[in-house]
């Protein structure tokens, strides 16, 4: 016998011989609805008509033959799917087929989904033109454009999948293969421009409006908006970069460096707006993010303080004559001397920029207000390659700052072992004493600070182990006082006296 679930209208064949007299409770595997199935009433007694050479036929069998001629199924007049002949509601499109009921599919939220699917790309197109279009190139509009595109695709895919599930896509009883909600979701997600209008057409097979024409128009508007804005952003980025590149025939090399410094300053401020701090490397300012490109042969140095709230930029054209600097926040481009810029560049280890300044004639022995030279900066920071370049260009290897500290003392104090090697190899006085009140040596500095490798290097290069400072302490005394037991052992083993 056939049983129809009143919840989901699914039809099942049940062996009535297995149903007990009192009936049975059966759970629908699709909607989990519990049905009470009762055993069908017994057939009436068989009446037979016989006669000579006459076939015996029962009235019940005749009734069954007649009943076989009655169709057991029919097609829904609204969606065309096959349903039981006695069904009062289509399980596919939800149409109410009961006599006396209004014709047509049952009203539900299905049309709302269709309207939302049409509105979503329209809203996205408006955002592209009125929001993204109002941004300048430094506000990174491409990120906003990408967000709008991805959000539109995902939202329309979800709407299509939800409606397809409500309309019964993928559960056709005709045996034909039919795309289900998951198929529509991933189809729109992966191939939006085709799958989106395709679904708006397919929904009419479930009794909904055919929105194909509207879908094609909306898809075209959205895609044209997307492509147009991408082209506009590319052109804007090109124009911005051209403000840095410029025409070399119409401006000097110094002007190119000045222009690059100004644009780098603008990009720094834009980066601060986006990230809440200034960038610590000029490489992060160059390229597609801010559309900043350097002019040919212009070098740039950027340094930022530890909390990212201040910055320093220097631009220098290797074929020009001037250096342009700008300090932020809210910096203004100004002309600087090579000597005033070189210490900052050296301090941050920008080898290429430092070499360009040195090659162009920057004074490698120029001192700042504290008597510190570029070599002292480089030694203290451990920038060995810059140390080599400075010494090769004539930097005084034994120069001292206002406190009487030499480059070797700064390197030993900071534990810059490789730099210590280079300085000693280039003639630095290994036993030089500070001219201040403490009268200390490089070895005393290294022992006091606990730099074991540096102490080993100084011992290996012949540093005097028993020299005393003004207060009478040797390198060993400094190591003992600070608790550097390993260094104390090294010094004693090398011959240091207690």
- Rounded to the nearest integer, the mean pLDDT of the chain is 81
The residues spanned by each domain of the chain are 2-70, 110-238
Q: Residue 405: is its pLDDT beyond 70?
A: yes
pLDDT of residue 369: 85
Rounded CA-CA distance 5/13 in Å is 11
Over 80: is that where the pLDDT of 249 sits? no
**Element (DSSP H or E) covering residue 303:** strand 298-304
Residue 3 has pLDDT above 70, yes or no: yes
pLDDT at 291: 64
CB-based burial label for 428 (10 Å; 0-12, 13-18, 19+): buried
pLDDT reported for residue 192: 95
Q: Give tens-digit pLDDT for 35-47.
A: 777 777 665 554 4
- Residues 6 or more apart in contact with residue 82 via CB below 8 angstroms: 73, 74, 75, 76, 173, 174
- Kindly list the distances between the CA atom of residue 129 and the CA atoms of 122, 256, 299, 392, in Å, as whole numbers in the listed order: 11, 35, 38, 59
Residue-wise pLDDT for 313-332, tens only, equals: 999 998 888 999 999 898 88
DSSP 373-389: -HHHHHHHHT-HHHHHH
84 band by pLDDT with thresholds 50, 70 and 90: confident
Beta bridge partners of 292: 286, 287
pLDDT of residue 44: 54
The contacts found for 247-252 with CB under 8 angstroms, 24 or more apart, are 248/295, 248/296, 252/320
Beta strands in 7-128 (DSSP E): 11-13, 24-27, 34-37, 73-75, 82-84
CB 463 within 8 A of CB 456: no
Average pLDDT rounded to a whole number, residues 101-124? 74
Residue 169 confidence class, pLDDT cut points 50, 70, 90 = confident
Q: What is the mean pLDDT of residues 203-208?
A: 83
CA of 209: how far to CAs of 31, 212, 230, in Å?
27, 9, 34
Higher pLDDT, 364 or 41: 364
Candidate from 14-23, 193-202, 346-355, 425-434 with smallest mean pLDDT: 14-23
What value does the mean pLDDT take over residues 447-472? 92
Question: Which helix (H) or strand (E) covers residue 336, if one does?
Answer: strand 334-336
- Beta-carbon contacts of 365 under 8 Å, excluding residues fewer than 6 positions away, are 373, 375, 394, 395, 396, 399
Q: Please say whether the beta carbons of 379 and 411 come within 8 A.
A: yes
What is the pLDDT at residue 400? 92
Supply the pLDDT for residue 111: 79
pLDDT in tens, 87-101: 766 766 666 666 654
Tell me, letter by letter, the H, E, C secondary structure of 218-246.
HHHHHHHHHHHHHHHHHHHHHHHHHHHHC
């Amino acid at each position: 016998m056939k049983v129809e679930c009143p919840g989901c209208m699914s039809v099942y064949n049940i062996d009535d011989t297995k149903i007990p007299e009192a009936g049975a409770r059966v759970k629908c595997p699709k909607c989990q609805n519990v049905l009470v199935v009762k055993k069908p009433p017994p057939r009436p007694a068989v009446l037979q008509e016989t006669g000579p050479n006459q076939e015996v036929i029962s009235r019940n069998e005749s009734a069954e033959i007649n009943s076989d001629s009655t169709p057991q199924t029919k097609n829904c007049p609204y969606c065309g799917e096959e349903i039981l002949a006695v069904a009062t509601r289509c399980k596919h499109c939800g149409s109410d087929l009961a006599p006396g009921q209004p014709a047509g599919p049952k009203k539900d939220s299905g049309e709302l989904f269709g309207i939302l699917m049409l509105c979503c790309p329209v809203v996205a197109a408006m955002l592209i033109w009125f929001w993204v279009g109002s941004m300048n190139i430094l506000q990174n509009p491409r990120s906003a454009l990408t967000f709008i595109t991805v959000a539109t695709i995902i939202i329309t895919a979800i709407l299509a999948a939800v409606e397809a599930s409500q309309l019964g896509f993928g559960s056709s009883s005709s045996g034909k293969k039919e795309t289900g909600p998951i198929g529509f979701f991933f189809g729109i997600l992966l191939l939006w421009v085709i799958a989106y209008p395709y679904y708006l057409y397919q929904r009419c097979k479930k009794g909904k409006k055919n929105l194909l024409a509207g879908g094609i128009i909306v898809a075209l508007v959205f895609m044209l908006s997307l492509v147009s804005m991408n082209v506009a952003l590319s052109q804007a980025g090109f124009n911005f970069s051209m403000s840095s590149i410029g025409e070399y025939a119409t401006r000097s090399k110094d002007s190119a460096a000045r222009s690059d410094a100004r644009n780098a300053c603008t990009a720094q401020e834009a980066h601060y707006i986006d990230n809440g701090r200034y960038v610590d490397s000029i490489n992060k300012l160059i390229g597609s993010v801010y559309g900043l490109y350097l002019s040919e042969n212009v070098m740039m140095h950027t340094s930022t303080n530890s909390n990212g709230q201040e910055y320093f930029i220097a631009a220098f054209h290797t074929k020009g004559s001037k250096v342009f600097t700008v300090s932020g926040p809210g910096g203004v481009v100004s002309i600087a001397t090579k000597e005033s810029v070189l210490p900052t560049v050296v301090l941050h280890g920008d080898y290429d920029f430092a070499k360009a300044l040195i090659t162009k004639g920057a004074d490698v022995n120029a001192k700042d207000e504290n008597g510190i030279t570029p070599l002292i900066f480089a030694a203290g920071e451990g920038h060995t390659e810059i140390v080599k370049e400075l010494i090769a260009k004539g930097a005084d290897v034994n120069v001292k700052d206002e406190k009487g500290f030499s480059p070797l003392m700064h390197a030993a104090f900071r534990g810059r072992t490789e730099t210590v090697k280079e300085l000693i190899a280039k003639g630095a006085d290994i036993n030089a004493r500070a001219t201040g009140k403490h009268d200390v040596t490089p070895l005393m500095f290294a022992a006091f600070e606990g730099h074991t490798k540096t102490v080993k290097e100084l011992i290996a290069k012949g540093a005097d182990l028993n020299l005393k400072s003004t207060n009478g302490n040797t390198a060993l005394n400094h190591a003992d006082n600070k608790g550097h037991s390993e260094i104390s052992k090294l010094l004693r083993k090398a011959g240091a006296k207690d």
